[in-house]
Amino acid sequence: MAFKMKYKNLQEVVDGLKGAVKMHGKQAKVIEKHIDDMEDSPMKKKLKPCQKAAAKRKFKVYPSAYANMWASQHKY
Protein backbone atom coordinates (compact mmCIF):
# COMPACT_ATOMS: atom_id res chain seq x y z
CA MET A 1 0.00 0.00 0.00
CA ALA A 2 1.56 3.23 -1.14
CA PHE A 3 0.78 6.63 0.29
CA LYS A 4 2.01 10.12 -0.34
CA MET A 5 3.62 12.36 2.22
CA LYS A 6 3.99 16.03 1.64
CA TYR A 7 7.40 17.67 1.87
CA LYS A 8 6.41 19.52 5.04
CA ASN A 9 5.42 16.25 6.72
CA LEU A 10 8.74 14.66 5.80
CA GLN A 11 10.65 17.61 7.24
CA GLU A 12 8.68 17.28 10.50
CA VAL A 13 9.64 13.59 10.66
CA VAL A 14 13.29 14.50 10.11
CA ASP A 15 13.19 17.08 12.89
CA GLY A 16 11.59 14.57 15.26
CA LEU A 17 14.09 11.85 14.42
CA LYS A 18 17.09 14.12 14.97
CA GLY A 19 16.06 14.60 18.57
CA ALA A 20 15.90 10.82 19.20
CA VAL A 21 18.64 8.26 19.62
CA LYS A 22 21.72 8.03 17.40
CA MET A 23 20.15 5.49 15.02
CA HIS A 24 17.27 7.83 14.33
CA GLY A 25 19.76 10.58 13.52
CA LYS A 26 21.26 8.35 10.82
CA GLN A 27 17.79 7.60 9.48
CA ALA A 28 17.04 11.33 9.41
CA LYS A 29 20.11 11.93 7.24
CA VAL A 30 18.93 9.30 4.76
CA ILE A 31 15.48 10.88 4.58
CA GLU A 32 16.97 14.35 4.12
CA LYS A 33 19.02 13.08 1.18
CA HIS A 34 15.83 11.79 -0.44
CA ILE A 35 14.13 15.14 0.16
CA ASP A 36 17.04 16.92 -1.53
CA ASP A 37 16.81 14.51 -4.49
CA MET A 38 13.09 15.25 -4.83
CA GLU A 39 13.71 19.02 -4.84
CA ASP A 40 16.24 18.71 -7.67
CA SER A 41 14.04 16.43 -9.76
CA PRO A 42 13.59 17.53 -13.38
CA MET A 43 10.00 16.30 -13.09
CA LYS A 44 9.16 19.18 -10.74
CA LYS A 45 10.27 21.87 -13.17
CA LYS A 46 7.85 23.46 -15.62
CA LEU A 47 8.08 22.44 -19.24
CA LYS A 48 9.19 25.01 -21.79
CA PRO A 49 6.74 25.79 -24.61
CA CYS A 50 9.04 24.11 -27.14
CA GLN A 51 9.09 20.93 -25.02
CA LYS A 52 5.28 20.90 -24.88
CA ALA A 53 5.04 21.44 -28.63
CA ALA A 54 7.45 18.56 -29.32
CA ALA A 55 5.47 16.27 -27.01
CA LYS A 56 2.22 17.23 -28.76
CA ARG A 57 3.79 16.31 -32.10
CA LYS A 58 5.18 12.99 -30.85
CA PHE A 59 2.23 11.69 -28.79
CA LYS A 60 -1.40 11.27 -29.83
CA VAL A 61 -2.63 12.15 -26.35
CA TYR A 62 -1.35 15.28 -24.66
CA PRO A 63 -1.23 15.99 -21.80
CA SER A 64 -0.34 12.57 -20.49
CA ALA A 65 2.16 11.25 -17.98
CA TYR A 66 4.25 9.60 -20.71
CA ALA A 67 4.30 12.72 -22.90
CA ASN A 68 5.25 14.98 -20.00
CA MET A 69 7.99 12.62 -18.84
CA TRP A 70 9.40 12.42 -22.37
CA ALA A 71 9.27 16.21 -22.77
CA SER A 72 10.98 16.81 -19.42
CA GLN A 73 13.93 14.67 -20.48
CA HIS A 74 14.47 16.40 -23.83
CA LYS A 75 16.21 19.74 -23.99
CA TYR A 76 15.51 22.13 -26.86
Count how many domains the chain has: 2
pLDDT at position 39 is 64
DSSP annotation string for the chain: ------HHHHHHHHHHHHTS-HHHHHHHHHHHHHHHHHHT-GGGSPPPHHHHHHHHHH-SSSS-HHHHHHHHT---
Q: Are residues 28 and 51 in the same domain?
A: no
Domain that holds residue 73: 45-76
Q: Are residues 35 and 53 in the same domain?
A: no
Residue 63 maps to a domain: yes
Residue 1 maps to a domain: no
Which segments in the chain show pLDDT lower than 70?
1-8, 19-23, 38-44, 76
Q: Are residues 74 and 59 in the same domain?
A: yes
Q: Are residues 34 and 50 in the same domain?
A: no
The pTM score is: 0.42
